Structure formats: structure tokens, C-alpha cells
């Protein structure tokens, strides 16, 4: 792991850590928001590409609205106004999307400076102490995020502890483009999800509380579809494609999501122990200046945000987001990258056996 100064922003000085698996997988991660800024993946033809969207400066990360690559918390996705009640106490949350709170509030974890901890070549570890009352949430919270590279995966592990009852929902908000971050729309990518249900929302994107089967709808992604089909689906017009929370029906041994590049040279499988995944096809990016002079248009990336259910604080039928003193909150998500020919070769070996 090597570390260098990246820049400064109103949150403070930002450093960038570079980690590598020594075989072509390399990631750059910022102390601001414990943010994944780049992820270099080598396909089977030897072509190296950066498969996540990002910015070039600390200010853009701090002021930007896209949450590129960020660790989002304390509570990713939405909590309906004015806040929530826990053990008979009311907690009012500062809003940042209309009257509701999105992605942990105006200065959530993605806009705070995390402390890098000593770690090996293949990993970066960050710690954040979030004080009682931070963005309205109770309890002093210690949270740690580890980015680790294995032979073909990026693994993100989370750990958190509190000294008083609180709620927690962490995710990583990377926008993937398996053709490379600078290469236009992800419309030609193919997507498959292990999800039998989704959580419908109202016009403010707040879950209604219903857990509805995907079968018979455009959201049935149990057989793969192109992202382009979803972007142009009339039923998904208000969200300009997907911005939906899917309930995962597999286990952490089955990919929650598969994404394939249009030319078939690279695929990503997402494994997680979280109960849900928000899939966002970036319908509202709107020509954001990105890394190395790239300009990101709508639909130039896809977010595969593994998480608990949005607004779970208001829906007793959703998995509980409560964390209590003495408990350790742990979670793991793995993004496994494969060149298509490697997948074919494995199948061939299996057939010979």
C-alpha cells in the first residue's frame, strides 16, 4: 500500500492510497469518504481498464452530488422525514433530499475524512469515529472499512460498534462501467439479479412498505436483460431506468448480481451478505466532468449498492437496521472480475472431468 497527498477540501486534507494484488488488479482509495477512486482490471486479452467513475479533485468529491465510489452512511438510501424513533426516543435528521434524508445527510460519511490504518500491499483500511448526534444519529459509532484485493476480486468489509442504540446501513456507491469509465453509456451491458422481490416506493422514492414480486414486471432480472432495455422501458420513465431496491433471494455464495461488458471480455459478479441491492443506472448524471478529462453522460455507469432496506426504520416488516452497544456490525461484499474466456475455459475443464 502506498499513500500520497491528493488534495484538500472543506473537510480537510485528503490522501490517496494505492493497493495492488501484484497481478494486474489495482485500486486507488481516498481518505475522503473512504472512496474507491479507480479500479484497474486486466481482461484476458491483456487490456487494462479503469472500471469505476470518479473525479480528479478533492473539491469535486466533497461538493459533488453523485457519491462516486463513496462509502455511504450512517444510513445509505433514504429515511423519510422527520427522522425516526428508537426505544421511545425521537431523532430528527437533517434533510438533504426535499424534506427527507438521503445517503446519511448533507455531511454524511462520504464527506468526512477517514483515518487510514497500517495495512499490507493488497489492502487499505480506514476508520471513522462518528460522534453521538452526527447527522442526527444517536450513539458514538466506530466504523472501519477494509478494501482488499484477492486474485480476481475487490472485497469490501465493514465493521462497526456503538456505545448506544443506533441504526446503520452502509454501502459502497461505485458506478461501474466494464468497458472503462470513459467509454459512454452502459446500455450495452447485460445485467442479471438474484432477486424475487423489490420494495416499491412513493413519488419521493420512499418505500411504501410493500415487498412485491418482480415476476411479470420489467424488474424481473432473474434472466438477464440489457441495461439499455431497462433505460428505455416506459414503466421506468420516472427513474430513467433503474433506481430500485431489490430483495436478494440467494445466499452469499450465489452472485447477487452479474454484469457483463457488451464485448464479452469482462464480467463482474457481486457477492454479499446484505439482504438487498439498490441498482441505479445513473439516469441523472447529466454530463459531469470526470477523471482524466472524461465527461460522464446519463447512464455512463451502474451502481450495484448492496445494503439493508431503505427507510427500514419505519417498516417493522423490513430487516431491522438497529445496532446496539456490545454488538459488532459486520458485512462483506465482493466484486469478482472475470475475463469471458476464463469463464469459458473453466466450463470446458468441468465438461472434460
Cβ partners under 8 Å of residue 75, min gap 6 = 101, 103, 104, 137, 167, 168, 169, 313, 321
Specify whether the CB–CB gap between 62 and 108 falls below 8 A: no
45 alpha-carbon distance from chain centroid: 28
User: Does residue 318 touch ligand GLA according to CB under 6 A?
Assistant: no
Binding residues for ligand GLA restricted to 232-261, rule: CB under 6 A:
243
Specify whether the CB–CB gap between 183 and 47 falls below 8 A: no
For residue 40, the minimal CB distance to ligand GLA (Å) is 24
How is residue 161 written as a grid cell? 460498534
User: Does residue 303 touch ligand GLA according to CB under 6 A?
Assistant: yes
* Range in contact with ligand GLA (rule: CB under 6 A) among 31-39, 61-69, 138-146, 185-193: 61-69
* Range in contact with ligand GLA (rule: CB under 6 A) among 39-47, 65-73, 120-128, 316-324: 65-73
User: Does residue 66 touch ligand GLA according to CB under 6 A?
Assistant: yes
Q: Which is nearer to ligand GLA, 221 or 303 (CB)?
A: 303
User: Which is the catalytic residue, given 103, 173, 189, 315?
Assistant: 173
Specify whether the CB–CB gap between 238 and 231 falls below 8 A: no
Q: Which is nearer to ligand GLA, 145 or 303 (CB)?
A: 303
Is 161 designated active site?
Answer: no
For residue 171, the minimal CB distance to ligand GLA (Å) is 9
Is 305 designated active site?
Answer: yes
Residue 348's Cβ-count burial label (10 Å; 0-12, 13-18, 19+) is exposed
For residue 202, the minimal CB distance to ligand GLA (Å) is 14
- 275: helix, strand or coil: coil
Dihedral class, residue 263 (left if φ above 0, else alpha if ψ from -120 to 50, else beta)? alpha
DSSP 353: -
Binding residues for ligand GLA restricted to 269-288, rule: CB under 6 A:
278, 280
- Active-site amino acid positions: 173, 305
What does the binding site for ligand GLA look like in residue numbers (CB under 6 A)?
65-67, 77, 102, 243, 278, 280, 303
Amino acid at each position: 500500500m502506498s499513500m500520497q497527498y491528493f488534495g484538500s477540501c472543506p473537510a480537510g486534507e485528503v490522501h490517496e492510497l494505492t493497493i495492488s494484488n501484484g497481478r494486474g488488479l489495482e485500486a486507488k482509495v481516498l481518505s475522503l469518504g473512504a472512496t474507491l477512486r479507480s479500479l484497474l482490471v486486466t481482461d484476458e486479452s491483456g487490456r487494462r481498464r479503469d472500471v469505476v467513475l470518479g473525479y480528479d479533485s478533492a473539491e469535486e468529491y466533497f461538493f459533488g452530488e453523485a457519491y462516486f465510489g463513496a462509502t455511504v452512511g450512517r444510513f445509505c438510501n433514504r429515511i423519510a422525514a422527520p427522522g425516526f424513533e428508537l426505544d421511545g426516543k425521537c431523532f430528527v435528521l437533517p434533510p438533504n433530499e426535499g424534506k427527507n434524508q438521503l445517503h446519511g445527510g448533507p455531511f454524511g460519511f462520504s464527506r468526512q475524512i477517514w483515518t487510514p490504518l497500517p495495512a499490507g500491499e493488497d489492502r487499505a483500511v480506514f476508520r471513522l469515529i462518528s460522534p453521538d448526534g452526527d447527522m442526527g444519529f444517536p450513539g458514538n459509532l466506530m466504523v472501519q472499512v477494509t478494501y482488499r484485493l484477492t486474485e480476481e476480486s475487490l472485497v469490501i468489509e465493514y465493521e462497526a460498534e456503538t456505545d448506544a442504540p443506533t441504526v446503520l446501513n452502509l454501502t459502497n456507491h461505485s458506478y461501474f462501467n466494464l468497458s472503462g469509465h470513459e467509454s459512454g453509456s452502459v446500455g450495452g451491458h447485460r445485467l442479471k439479479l438474484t432477486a424475487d422481490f423489490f420494495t416499491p416506493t412513493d413519488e419521493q422514492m420512499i418505500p411504501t412498505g410493500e415487498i412485491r414480486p418482480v415476476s411479470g414486471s420489467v424488474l424481473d432480472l432473474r434472466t438477464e436483460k440489457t441495461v439499455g432495455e431497462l433505460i428505455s422501458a416506459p414503466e421506468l420513465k420516472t427513474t430513467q431506468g433503474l433506481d430500485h431496491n431489490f430483495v436478494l433471494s440467494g445466499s452469499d455464495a450465489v452472485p447477487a448480481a452479474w454484469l457483463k461488458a457488451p464485448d464479452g471480455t469482462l464480467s463482474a459478479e457481486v457477492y454479499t451478505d446484505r439482504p438487498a441491492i439498490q441498482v441505479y443506472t445513473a439516469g441523472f448524471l447529466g454530463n459531469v466532468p470526470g477523471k482524466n478529462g472524461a465527461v460522464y453522460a446519463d447512464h455512463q455507469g451502474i451502481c450495484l449498492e448492496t445494503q439493508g432496506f431503505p427507510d427500514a426504520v419505519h417498516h417493522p416488516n423490513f430487516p431491522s437496521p438497529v445496532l446496539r452497544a456490545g454488538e459488532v456490525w459486520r458485512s462483506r461484499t465482493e466484486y469478482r472480475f472475470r475475463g469471458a474466456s476464463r469463464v469459458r475455459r473453466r466450463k470446458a475443464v468441468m465438461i472434460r472431468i
